[in-house]
Amino acid sequence: MARKTAVKDYIRTIVDFPHEGIMFRDVTTLFADPRGFRMAIDQMLHPYAGEQIDKVVGLEARGFILGGAIAHQLSVGFVPIRKKGKLPGTTISQEYKLEYGEAIMEIHDDAIQPGEKVLVVDDLLATGGTAAAGIKLIERLGGEIVSCAFIIDLPELGGRKVLEDLGMDVTVLCEFEGA
């Protein structure tokens, strides 16, 4: 490939993973490259310069990698939203739809204080089910979501509209066609 100049150039596509017909957009190649990783973090943060953000919330699992770096850069705390049964303290739960069946996300019930301004972070927006569950958990704790930031949007899967219909501001760094 020619010289990489954009975040999208660092993302690898694996065909037929985890199922036949899926074009898996693999951000590990972006994370592994110091220039690419810094570019992604800087660009994800850029729209929020000067905005008040009290907490960064990352969605399991790749949202933890991005969220940790972004929270560190902002000098604010990081909060994980995890799949059911992983968090040790008292949690609240939210069901969400997967391609097949349903799953449950959880957050510690003392992780966000009412009125705190929250930035939600994940690597990829597909159907929006994961992020919508995260949004509901944060709002149930009284958090005020400033925005939801992703590296990748898969527009054909409609997640951006799902989040915007929930009243969310959404930022993405790049789009890929196909599921």
Ligand X SMILES: Nc1ncnc2[nH]cnc12
Binding residues for ligand PRP, rule: CB under 6 A, are 59-62, 122-131, 159
Q: Select which of 99, 156, 164, 175 is catalytic.
A: 99
Give the 3-state secondary structure of residue 72: helix
d(CA 67, CA 77): 10
Residue 99 known to be catalytic? yes
Q: Please identify, using beta-carbon distances, which residue of 24 and 87 lies nearer to ligand X.
A: 24
Q: Look up residue 81 and give its DSSP letter.
A: E
Q: Please identify, using beta-carbon distances, which residue of 22 and 166 lies nearer to ligand X.
A: 22
Cα pseudo-dihedral 90, 125, 122, 32, rounded to 10: 140
Among 83, 39, 130, 19, which Cα is nearest to 27's? 39
- Cβ–Cβ < 8 Å for 44, 65: no
Binds ligand X (CB under 6 A): choice among 23, 65, 103, 104: 23
Task: Examine residue 92 and tell whether it contacts ligand X (CB under 6 A).
Answer: no
Q: Please identify, using beta-carbon distances, which residue of 106 and 123 lies nearer to ligand X.
A: 123
Q: Which residues bind ligand X (CB under 6 A)?
A: 22-25, 124, 126, 154, 179
Residues labelled catalytic: 62, 99
